[in-house]
Amino acid sequence: TVRSWKNYKDCLWDIAGRSWAYGNSFRWPLIYKINKDRIPDFNNPDLIEPGMILIIPSLPGEARSGDWDPDMTYTRRR
């Protein structure tokens, strides 16, 4: 779930860079591509809004499931 820019700096670049997502901000287009229909102006990936629920797609060879829990600490398995 997207949180406020003011408090958390949530944007696709920062979300992709977080350890529980990809740990690599340059992978933000993967999140954008699968969530385009959820973004108010799908031609502008900067327009995500607090409260939006985004899908974080799996990378090849990776399995993801469940919902993100802000009270948990996530680590990346290799």
pLDDT score of 78 more than 60:
no
pLDDT reported for residue 51:
93
Which tens digit of pLDDT belongs to each residue from 43-56? Answer: 888 889 999 999 99
Which tens digit of pLDDT belongs to each residue from 7-43? Answer: 988 999 999 999 889 999 999 999 999 999 998 888 8
Closest CA to 2 of 33, 31, 41, 22: 31
Q: How far apart are CA 76 and CA 33, in angstroms?
A: 22
Contact partners, residue 58, CB within 8 Å, separation at least 6: 64
pTM confidence score: 0.79
pLDDT reported for residue 77:
58
Q: How far apart are CA 54 and CA 44, in angstroms?
A: 15
Q: Please, where are the H alpha helices in the chain? A: 5-8, 12-17, 28-35
